[in-house]
Amino acid sequence: MRRSLPALLLAQVLIAPAVSAAHPNNSIAPRIPPATPYGYHISLSDDPRRRDGEADPVPAESPLPLGDYRAIEAQAGAYTAALIEPAADLGRALQARGDHREALPYLKRAVHLARVNEGLATPTQLPLLERVLASQLALGDREGAAGTQRYLLRLRLANAPDEAARQVAVAEYADWQRGRYLAREGFDTYRFLVDLRLVNERELARLEAAEADGLPGAGLAQLPYLRDMLRTEYLVSRYEGERKETIRMRAGSSANQSYAPSQSLEAEDFRLMRKYNYRGGRQLAERIIEIHRAQPEPDRAALARALLDLGDWHLWWHQPGPALRSYREAWDLYANDGDPATDPAALFPAPRELPVASPFFTAAPPPDEHLEPAEGQARFTVNRLGQARDVELAVLEARDEAAAHTALYRMMKDFRFRPVLRGGDAVDSGGLTRRYSFRY
């Protein structure tokens, strides 16, 4: 079913809930659309990262090595190092059968024995803790898994052989925290965003000190942490608030005394992250560009990507002037390098939804018991400012077609696209057709 744009506008007025138009951040004047399900519940249907889920094969049962474990315990005692591997084998065998509740005590015992016999931060614990984590997740113990993830991060950093291993450890932990935020686990989900920033800031502080001491490569090593912090700033920019908690206060002896609930340090940190969100993201993107330009032989492709990232951030905040200047710099970088193999038009093959490379625009909409899945198709034009115009929508699959239509229209209205540049100037791009999977 297709509807004209005036009809869509009327439907939005009649159906869309009332929301404040002002952005929660107050670090700059422009207003941007209020938070919507964009980024949490919509994806391109043909995204190559999407794949149909396949059921894991049921493993064949194997005999449990319980006898070996008990024999060694009886002979050498309950705290012998010789029990580490038998306890781990027993836990693995129970996991293979799907008995995660039974497997956990043996796996945790193997970890404890490793700590007692080898020390608090030995690499022996790493594969054991990964097994513990797998069983906790299988049992739905998210809080227990969160504690295991924090412990794993400390151990991985303590045993990292090089900077690349540290980057992988931090990235895996950041993906975990980001997933918890997008799944909206519990109250105070802003804590996940604060933690995402802090875990990268600690690594940055270490590398900045190393750079000041003249350590080669310390500047480039900062890039993964800076990029992850920029992704976090995108999430901060669309923070939707928390479910309200009940606050209990007891009156004191003075009838005129007033009480205010105290805020945690995390809450204050996040307040500042929101207040200076635009500036914070811009400074991160500019720092990435600065690092690339400071190299003796800058990587042209990486520098162009960094310039595009800065332009994307400006455009996300409805700053088309600075955005187009940054895009034009990337264009000029390729156009003026004297290399015919570098075509600046290749940097802008087609309009792309923003943020292009962040977890906002996910590979597949996450499951949500409160939202319905749907499939839709959009035909539209992207103007030189990255806005969708002349939108025509068709809902292809949905339980409630009218509600799905309104939700998809609001998302399209909220989208920002990296525009196409030709000859160094942004141009309109018409005749676009995209198919989206989303939840409403």
Average pLDDT over residues 428-436: 94
Q: What is the pLDDT of residue 239?
A: 86
What is the pLDDT at residue 411? 87
- The pLDDT value recorded for residue 6 is 37
The confidence band for 34, taking pLDDT boundaries of 50, 70 and 90, is: very low
Q: For 279-283, what is the mean pLDDT?
A: 97
Tell me the C-alpha distance between 74 and 62, whole Å.
Answer: 24
The CATH number covering residue 124 comes to 1.25.40.10
Is residue 135 included in any domain, yes or no? Answer: yes
Instruction: Please state the rounded mean pLDDT for residues 179-204.
Output: 91
Give the pLDDT confidence score for residue 154 in this predicted structure.
Answer: 97
Q: Quote the mean pLDDT of the chain.
A: 83
> Quick one: pLDDT at residue 318?
92
Task: State residue 413's pLDDT score.
Answer: 86
Cα 291 from Cα 282, distance rounded (Å)? 14
151-159 mean pLDDT: 97
pLDDT at 24: 37
Whether residue 287 lies inside any domain: the answer is no
pLDDT tens digits, 344-361 = 999 999 999 988 765 556
- The DSSP call for residue 81 is G
CA dihedral 387, 392, 396, 399 (to 10 degrees): 80
Q: Rounding to the nearest 10 degrees, give the CA dihedral for residues 312, 199, 134, 119.
A: 160
| pLDDT above 80 for 290 | yes
| Residue 14 pLDDT exceeds 70 | no
Does 64 have pLDDT greater than 70? Answer: yes
What average pLDDT does this structure show over 212-236? 93
Question: Which of 5-9, 242-246, 250-254, 275-279 ranks highest by mean pLDDT?
Answer: 275-279
Whole-number percent of the chain with pLDDT over 90:
61
β partners of residue 44: 436
**Environment class of 204 (CB within 10 Å of its CB; exposed 0-12, middle 13-18, buried 19+):** middle
Check pLDDT > 90 for residue 209. Answer: yes
Distance of CA 201 to the CA centre of its chain: 16
Q: What does the pLDDT read at residue 365?
A: 61
Asked whether the predicted pLDDT for residue 437 surpasses 60, the reply is yes
Least confident of 72-76, 124-128, 233-237, 372-376: 72-76
Annotate 127-137 with b (16+ C-beta within 10 A) or e (fewer).
ebbebbbbbbe
- Mean pLDDT to the nearest integer, 71-81: 86
78 within a domain of the structure (yes/no): yes
Alpha-helical runs (H) found in 139-245: 142-158, 163-182, 190-212, 218-221, 223-237
Is residue 293 included in any domain, yes or no?
A: no
**308: in domain:** no
Using alpha carbons, select from 127, 123, 203, 195 the residue that is nearest to residue 163: 203
Dump pLDDT digits (tens) for 369-422: 778 889 999 999 999 999 999 999 999 999 999 999 998 998 888 889 999 999
Of the two residues 272 and 32, the one the predictor is more confident about is 272
Domain limits for position 121: 63-159
Of the listed ranges 5-19, 95-109, 283-297, 321-335, the least confidently predicted one is: 5-19
pLDDT band at 241 (very low <50, low <70, confident <90, very high): confident
Confidence (pLDDT) at 386: 95
Q: Does a structural domain hold residue 7?
A: no
Task: Look at the chain and count its residues.
Answer: 440
* CA dist 299 → 24, 176, 265 (Å): 37, 30, 40
Number of domains in the chain: 1
Domain annotation covers residue 277? no
The average pLDDT across 77-83 equals 89
What is the pTM assigned to this prediction?
A: 0.81
- Share above pLDDT 70 across residues of the chain, in percent, rounded to a whole number: 79
Highest mean pLDDT among 62-71, 74-83, 219-228: 219-228
More confidently predicted of 402 and 56: 402
Least confidently predicted of 79-83, 133-137, 198-202, 344-348 = 79-83
* Contact between 408 and 43 (Cβ < 8 Å): no
